[in-house]
Amino acid sequence: MTSLYRAFNTKLPRTINPSSKLRPLVPRRNLGIPPQYLLDEYIPRYQLLTSVEAAKKRSRAYAHLQNCNLCPRKCGVNRYEETGVCLIGAETAKVNVIAPHFGEEPCITGYRGSGSVFFSGCNLRCVFCQNHDIAHQRNGFDLTPEELAEWYLKLQQVGNVHNINLVTPEHVVPQVALSILTARDMGLKLPVIYNTSSFDSLDSIELMDGLVDIYLADFKVWKSSTSKRLLKADNYAETAMESIKAMHNQVGDLCFTSDGIAKKGVLLRHLVMPGKEDEGKEIVRWLAQNVSKDMYIHIMEQYHPDAHVGKKKRAAKQTEGGSKEEVRYADINRAVTDQELGSVKDAAREAGMWRFVEVNEQAMKPYIAIPATLALVYRAWSRKSLTTAGIVAAAITALVHAQHPWSTPFTLLVVFYMGGTTATKVKHDIKSQLTVSSTGSSGGEGARTHIQVLANSIVASILTQLHARQLARNGQDCFSNGTNAADLLMVGVVANYAAVAADTFSSELGILSKSKPRLITSLTLRVVPPGTNGGVTATGLLAGLFGAFTIAITSTALLPFCSEWGNREKGVWIAAVTLWGGLGSLLDSFLGGWLQSSVVDKRTGKVVEGSGGQKVLVHPSSTQPAGAAALPKQDTSLRATEEAANTATLRGAKITGSSVGSQEGTHDPEHESRRVESGFDLLDNNDVNVLMAAIMSIGGMAAASYVWDVPLSAAFAK
């Protein structure tokens, strides 16, 4: 209890900005709420109970505990003396988590979160339970109804949440009823949500009548054979039908206030499961015919194998085809297909249902991602900005980003690519004269290779996939500004692109500076030729900040924030991302000046750039003291050839036996004209880019972890 209290008090002030001012999620004209479901104001139902009605509720709650019939299990035990299937007694309820939660539907979480109380234990035994650590293990704190009431008030006063969300309360209905009545007397004024699997007895629903404003109800499966196998309750469907009817009779269809927040009614959920779409169709048809076609329904797609699903069997079972099923519940050990999901939604529409939970408007749409990817590929091919392998790598990277449910990662990639290629083209003819190529052509690295593409995007690609997985696991569809640990992964993605954009703009535009660059790794900041690794100019620094600024603006515009941000919050985010990107550019310069050698052609005084960001070959005599062994000009003996190769190892590559004999005319004089300007020959430009991107991404996540007081390890938790 003490640690729960401490966690709540230390975390909330950093993650929630209470405000008494009403801020609509979207302008009222765009809400799309029919007038009959729009409320001018709302008073919670428990506030309307008379003292006599409240006293009767208390009496009935205590009676239920003496002969427990709260769920269809109907254990009939006296919970003051023993426990039933749920293993929960009478005096307390076991609670796992109490906190503002942003993983529910947008109309429930709003912009301040839903004050969720996750009760431990459950009267079902779903083999695929997405919250099995809470429902099946019964970990947590024992709280009396009076202590629960105090937490409701804390969520209201400190958390400033929109509602009190009681998650999985079916087995603790009497304690919940008593806590609501106590909280009412203490000043609770928020709507109460009963978040249930619908495996409730009618006695429980009747007890909650007048205490609950919103029923957030699941309807999981239709067939008794399925419920017996997967839920361990063969009477689930018939029980759910009775319960949902009773819920709807109490509160009706879901209604909202003008800020888009639900206040009263039933919100029905159905999680589509692999291979069970026919059962989903039966469920939505029954709802339309027997409850209401106007019911607000959420047909969910975030099923993933969890709990017992996919676990190895102790002994493999022989199937009809002769193969062995090595894992448990193999038939649902996969994700749901678009066809399965779409068929259930189509069935709901055909049945006359029309009020659906809208998907995130920021979601990446295939009809946008695919043409956009093709357009990028065509642009790279037509402008010859990427090699063939580079185009393939870019297309794969784009598709990886497009798989994310938000459009943000894909758009950041596009903005970085468009901005980077544009900066590369700026005064390209002038820049080509400032350096020379290691291949003998004009200056510059030429078309970008697949290695260069991946160097800038591989870290972001990994974080994007991890974030998408966490979103699906948590049921989260918005950026909660640190309330959810998964937000740290998105910070890493933004930090990656801010840093690489700043580095690209800085190097491509900084080289045009009228002032000579100065070596950042030199204590005296000595002047070096344009293009030197680690050379910085004021123009380059400003260009880098502008590159990071483009990423900051893009992320601010496209991140689906759970809470509406004001100008101050947006300004802080933009400034932080811009400065972090600029810091990444400086880090890249430092790493390049220190770990990457810069080679200068002594004949022209210009920096030699390696093709595709690779190392530049340098003759050993240009880096060794006078009198050091030189490369033999001609020797046909095998021993001499081996000695020549060992002595004349080029920086970044070794000379093969077949190439030694040809050094006299072309290769050798060219390499002898090169000298190392600065840096150790440990990494090439691509290595430096990957290292910088990784440091800035992880560093950005660590900084956000500190500011939000969220453990960094939580972002990677399974």
B/e letters for 492-510, b = 16+ CB within 10 Å, e = fewer, are bbbbbbbbbbbbbbbbbbb
Structure token digits, residue 187: 């000043």
Question: Is the per-residue pLDDT at 561 higher than 60?
Answer: yes
B/e letters for 462-487, b = 16+ CB within 10 Å, e = fewer, are bbbbbbbebbbbbbbbbbbbbbbbbb
For 183: left if phi > 0, alpha if psi spans -120 to 50, otherwise beta; the answer is alpha
Q: Whole-number mean pLDDT of the chain?
A: 82
**pTM greater than 0.75 (yes/no):** no
Bridge partners (DSSP) of residue 386 are 448
Q: Under 8 Å CB-to-CB from 113, ≥6 apart: which residues?
A: 16, 100, 101, 102, 159, 161, 162, 480, 483, 562
What does 101-131 look like in DSSP terms, one character per residue? E--S-HHHHTTT-EEEEEES--S---TT-TT
- Where residue 607 falls among pLDDT bands split at 50, 70, 90? confident
Helix (H) or strand (E) holding 141: strand 141-143
Domains of the chain: 35-350 (3.20.20.70), 366-600+685-716 (no CATH), 617-677 (no CATH)
Question: Is the per-residue pLDDT at 9 higher than 60?
Answer: no
Strands (E), 506-663: 518-519, 535-536, 598-601, 606-609
For 374-428, the pLDDT digits (tens) are: 887 888 888 788 888 989 999 999 989 988 888 899 999 999 999 988 888 888 7
| Cα–Cα distance, 496 to 577 (Å, whole number) | 10
Quick one: what percent of the chain has pLDDT higher than 70?
Answer: 79
Averaged over 219-242, what is the pLDDT?
A: 96
Structure token digits, residue 3: 């640690």
Averaged over 77-94, what is the pLDDT?
A: 76
For 435-460, the pLDDT digits (tens) are: 776 665 555 556 788 898 999 999 99
